[in-house]
Amino acid sequence: MVEVVAAQEAAMGDASALFATSILSGRMVHVFGSGHSRMMVEEMWPRYGSYPGWNPIVELSLSFHNLVVGANGQRQAMFLENVSGLAEQILRNFDYDTADSALIISSSGCSLVPVEMAEGFKRRGISVVAIVSQAHAQASASKRSDGKKLMDFATIVLDTGAPVGDALVHIPGMEMKVAPGSTVGGAMLINCMKAETAKLLTEAGQPPLALVGAVVVGAERSAEIFQAAYDEHAHRLAKLYENVGSAG
């Protein structure tokens, strides 16, 4: 167990160093997750205690769950998550640089869109960090004909620690377990990397502007930070559109 924890800490450190390098270079870290992994994308940015440098890529067609059935229902989202080629249409919207990096979250590591997103980033020379449930991913079958999973396209792999099937709690007399654990583990990993990356940015002389509430710094300063952080995000994002399509 000690060795596993040490390996995770080392991997998070490596991931944070990669992300800090991208942000210091004026570029962005692209963060993607489909299904409920969308929550991890929004956990990274934008929210209190978060800062610019992250490009949250959230496709509503893959992650809009509250209607459950009917138009925009869950069946459609789960179907689209395994449509080959959709990832490339998402990636086509941005102009990338090898100074960029990417973080992709998928508990199973097997759904086609997250895997093809990682493949597309890697093909563009961008290093990929993956957050998966190792146990669940290893027990699951890839939707790809070649059997490749998200981990096969990642430079760094982090484990949420969630078990096969994700759910944690067995209730006597109930057939299936309840209470999935990947969100808890994923949020912990996200925030550890967020904090470590902020530390590295600060040590490099570029402390990030983290969103903070009025109750902490006062209404005027809080509003000032929000506006400045959003402006920085816009300026970084603008670079991702400058040459869209020029490379085909």
- Per-residue b or e along 68-106, where b marks 16 or more CB atoms closer than 10 Å to that residue's CB: eeeeeeeebbeebbeeeebbeebbeebebbeebbbbbbb
Is the model's pLDDT at 118 over the cut of 90? Answer: yes
Q: What is the largest CA-CA distance in the chain?
A: 60
Which amino acid, 136? H
CB 158 within 8 A of CB 131: yes
Instruction: Give the whole-angstrom CA distance, residue 182 versus residue 167.
Output: 8
pTM score, two decimals?
A: 0.94
The mean-pLDDT minimum among 59-68, 175-184, 201-210, 214-223 falls in 59-68
Confidence band for 248, pLDDT divided at 50, 70 and 90: very low
CATH code that applies to domain 2-239: 3.40.50.10490
